[in-house]
Amino acid sequence: MNILARYNVEKHGLLSETYPVNPDNQVTYLAEGTAQKKNQEVSFLWPYSGMLSGCVSLYKTTGDKKYKDILEKRILPGLEKYWDNKRKPFCYQSYPMFNGESDRFYDDNDWLAIDFCDYYALTRNAKYLKKAEQLHHYIYSGWSDELGGGIFWCEQKRLSKNTCSNAPATVLCMKLYNHTQKPEYLEQAKETYAWTKKNLCDPADYVYWDNIDLNGKIAKQKYTYNSGQMIQAGVLLYQATGDKQYLIDAQNTAKGSFNHFTKMAETVDGSQARFFTASPWFNVIMFRGLKALYEVDGNDQYVKMMADNARYAWKYTRDENGFLGEDWSGHKTKKYKWLLDNACMLELYSEMSQIK
């Protein structure tokens, strides 16, 4: 696998943040006030987690045990270097423990717990379900009564409650409910979904805002992944309860997202095509929701367009090393290719193969 070879950091058995390594790399996705890591040798947890998602998906869609081997011999052992077993509840922190304590993000652990649920579904190895439940315990330690509920974004900087921590927590609860049939997971999913919809859904287009601070001020930026997770959450709740309002919500958010997040761009032959304009990983998380919705209502408009975007990016925008950038239309390029922009494509290309 090209990513494992080129991003490899042999010293730590982990991966670099970019390829080639950017000596002046500035990480911009941490919580406000978080200090940049000095002498950053490896990636933060978030981009590394994309490799877990990608390999789980590849194993699911192909059944090829080489991906299981990569997971269990390379990706999962590397992941444990981010495991913080000093601060309770235990969870994965944002940078490996060999560098000392780092901030811990509820959404980072959401994504990993979802992957562990999906890997448990493939292997039926109870340790992966146990890990997902352990992370669920950590994630809901971030729930508080301020603003009537909701999960914070960053444990050490409890300044806002974000769609990115609450929407995937709802998806996680539903996956845990489907695996265990424990009613508390279903009730928690309903409560988290309702809080997020009430506080962070734009009633004008059903697309989700980013976060709300403790003074009730809403940060109205919109990102594909937030709406994508609420679409998937709505589908999962609809399937479990039969309540059609969840399906209607998902369809409304999918339509609003399509209108909000796609734009026309010129292609290599001079024609025009519509592209999802967000960064790749955000789009891949949106694809999870769109695919779940397609499997229920049969509307393939959204999933097929994103699949077309991904095929175009593969054909026309890869660099000399075979890596993609953040812009699938190819109009913006960067020398240093981010790990997450490429790791996430493992999942997308894998999941696209199941669209008929």
CATH number at residue 316: 1.50.10.20
pLDDT of residue 193: 99
Q: Is residue 108 part of a domain?
A: yes
pLDDT of residue 37: 67
Q: Is residue 243 part of a domain?
A: yes
Which class for 119: exposed (0-12), middle (13-18), buried (19 or more C-beta within 10 A)?
buried
pLDDT of residue 44: 97
| Cβ atoms of 40 and 52 closer than 8 Å | no
pLDDT of residue 354: 87
* 30 three-state secondary structure: coil
Q: Is residue 37 part of a domain?
A: no
> 10 Å Cβ neighbour count for 254?
28
Q: Domain containing 311: what range?
A: 44-352
Residue type, 350: S
CA 342 to chain centre: 13
Q: Is residue 97 part of a domain?
A: yes
pLDDT of residue 36: 64
Q: What does each of the 356 residues of the chain score in pLDDT, given as a tens digit?
A: 899 999 999 999 999 999 999 988 888 898 877 766 667 899 999 999 999 999 999 999 999 999 999 999 999 999 999 999 999 999 999 999 999 999 999 999 999 999 999 999 999 999 999 999 999 999 999 999 999 999 999 999 999 999 999 999 999 999 999 999 999 999 999 999 999 999 999 999 999 999 999 999 999 999 999 999 999 999 999 999 999 999 999 999 999 999 999 999 999 999 999 999 999 999 999 999 999 999 999 999 999 999 999 999 999 999 999 999 999 999 988 999 999 999 999 999 999 998 87
Report phi then psi at 276, rounded to 5: -70, 125
Which class for 134: exposed (0-12), middle (13-18), buried (19 or more C-beta within 10 A)?
middle
Q: Is residue 119 part of a domain?
A: yes
Q: Is residue 88 part of a domain?
A: yes
The candidate with the shortest Cα–Cα distance to 44, out of 133, 135, 108, is: 108
Distance CA 343, CA 325 (A): 11
- Cis-peptide into 280, omega within 30 deg: no
Q: Is residue 36 part of a domain?
A: no
Please give the DSSP secondary-structure letter assigned to residue 34.
P
The candidate with the shortest Cα–Cα distance to 55, out of 66, 44, 71, is: 71
> 10 Å Cβ neighbour count for 32?
8
Distance CA 96, CA 102 (A): 8
Number of structural domains the chain divides into = 1
Q: Is residue 333 part of a domain?
A: yes
Residues 6+ apart with CB under 8 A from 177: 183, 185, 186, 189, 240
pLDDT of residue 38: 64
Q: What would you measure as the largest C-alpha separation in the chain, in angstroms?
A: 56
Distance CA 323, CA 4 (A): 12
pLDDT of residue 31: 87
